[in-house]
Amino acid sequence: MALFGFGKPGWEKAAAKAEKARRRGELATAKRYFEEAAAEAPAANAEGFAKAATECAAMLCREHRTTAEQMVAAGQFERAAQRLELALSFATDADREAIDALLTQAREGAARLESPVAFEEASFDAAISDEENLMAIVAVYPDEVSSRYFELGEAFREAVTATHGGRAGEAIAHFDSVMQEHGDEAIAHFERGRCLQALDRNDDAIAAYLRAEELMPDWSNIKLGVADAALAAGKIEIAEDALQRAVDADDENKEVYVAICRTALQSAQPGYGLEAAEALLDLDPANRRGLILKGQLYEMAGDSDAAAASYEESLSRYWHYDSQEEKLFFDPVPATLCATLYFRERTNLTRAEELARALLTVTEGNEKNAWEVFLARASARNGDPAAARKILDRMKLSGDLAPEIEHAIDVLLGADVAIESDDPAVVATMAELAADRELLR
């Protein structure tokens, strides 16, 4: 008798892995192995494997779409867009039109929320209940994990929704009572770790996550929790070790690669971050976060051309003009990164001006004024001092400017302003303003 299936043909191994994954609720993995089995199995077996793969795809599409609809209702647009992209990858032609429409809605909502402007005033008409919020949280988890959220009782669910609702101080007492009632429970330790992180008790959070990992070593989300808390505590080595364990546990989890990229940025080690970004984009070539993080990592590595190319690719995927609404829709995050890169490197300044004008349409107040100053300086650097002066003169006449904006305009228009700071960043900024002033003469 062959142990662990090593003596079986390849398609039988794939089929066994598929069934195991389906029992665990890991439908994407099950689908992949069913497809592999169908491709290699004899005709008598292949039809059944192909049908099983199709059934897994249908369930995945339905789950991702339902979760995304809840997220859109809750205003969680970026997460909804990620879910809908997954739904599309499993959708039939009959489902695509409805999913595409919802994806457009989610992307436009995400673009509004991720503007450089702080949208503190933003609100949503659709209120979401604690039960709906919990469903949105656990819908992304494997079945054996999500079921525990309902088996651990009402006090636990209240603690989870309080944590995710920004009420961690209220939640921590609930977790203490849950731990007393249920003992050493992996999911309880995991959610308690999240709560402790929200309270900025990162060392305690690391300990909670590590205990959860001991009890449930195969779930990569727990390892991501360890890494996130360790990063917040400045413990880079602990974060990197946790992320290596996460990759070993699930090398198809896109969130793992996002976390590796962010760790690489924080630790100023772009090399392994770029490898992670490439792995993420191999899994999902259109992944917005992957393209943005790849650009940031290339910037850190000193490759401005590659950084700009990555930002531009991200921009191109969401940049469109709605002629009926007469409105430009785009993602302001890569737009900001790309514009400032061109400006700083003094390359493609025409594109920097174009992006600045676009960003002026989605910003307000002081942030909008800052982009107007940016546009004036980009115009000056691009050989059009008259346009730059026109912008600055108009701003000066409009009044009601923040002191730092008014100060920058005064310097650019020729005022001799003394530097009253020893901060190297302030001194460098003033030197750049003084250099741009020479272009306006």
Q: How far apart are CA 54 and CA 422, in angstroms?
A: 65
Q: CA-CA distances (angstroms) from residue 163 to 175, 182, 259?
A: 10, 19, 21
**Rounded CA separation 12/278 (Å):** 32
Q: Quick check: 428 pLDDT over 90?
A: no
* Rounded Cα distance, 133 and 310, in Å: 34
Average the pLDDT over each of 42-56, 171-185, 278-292 and give the range with the smallest value. 171-185
- pLDDT for res 161: 86
pTM of the complete model:
0.67
pLDDT-above-70 percentage for the chain: 91
| The CATH number of domain 9-113, selected from 1.10.3470, 1.10.287, 1.25.40, 1.10.20 | 1.25.40
Residue 3 has pLDDT above 50, yes or no: no
pLDDT digits (tens, 9 = 90+) for 355-366: 999 999 989 899
pLDDT given at position 130: 56
Q: Identify the residue whose tokens are 């808390």.
A: 229
Q: What does the alpha-carbon distance between residue 39 and residue 242 come to, in Å, rounded to a whole number?
A: 36
**Position 310 pLDDT exceeds 90:** yes
Supply the pLDDT for residue 136: 72
Other CB atoms within a 10 A radius of the CB of residue 8 amount to 13
137-173 residue pLDDT tens: 777 787 778 888 888 888 888 888 888 888 888 888 8
Helix, strand, coil % (nearest 5) of the chain?
Answer: 75, 0, 25
> 402 pLDDT exceeds 60?
yes
Helix axes 254-266 and 270-283, enclosed angle (nearest 10): 160
Query: Does residue 335 contact residue 315 with C-beta atoms inside 8 Å?
Result: yes
pLDDT for 129 equals 53
Does domain 126-250 fall into CATH 3.40.140.10? no
Residue labelled with tokens 């650009």: 295
Express each pLDDT in 207-261 by its tens digit.
Answer: 999 999 999 998 889 999 999 999 999 999 999 999 999 998 888 888 999 999 9
Where, residue-wise, is CATH 1.25.40.10 in the chain?
126-250
Band the pLDDT of 123: cuts 50, 70, 90.
Answer: very low
pLDDT above 90 covers a percentage of the chain that reads: 41
Q: What are the CB-based long-range contacts (under 8 Å, 24+) for 223-226? A: 223/249, 223/256, 224/255, 224/256, 224/259, 225/190, 225/193, 225/194, 225/197
62-120 confidence digits (pLDDT tens): 888 888 887 777 677 777 887 788 788 888 888 888 888 888 888 877 766 554 433 33
Beta partners for residue 329, in sequence order:
320
State the DSSP code for 234.
Answer: T
Closest CA to 254 of 266, 245, 242, 246: 246
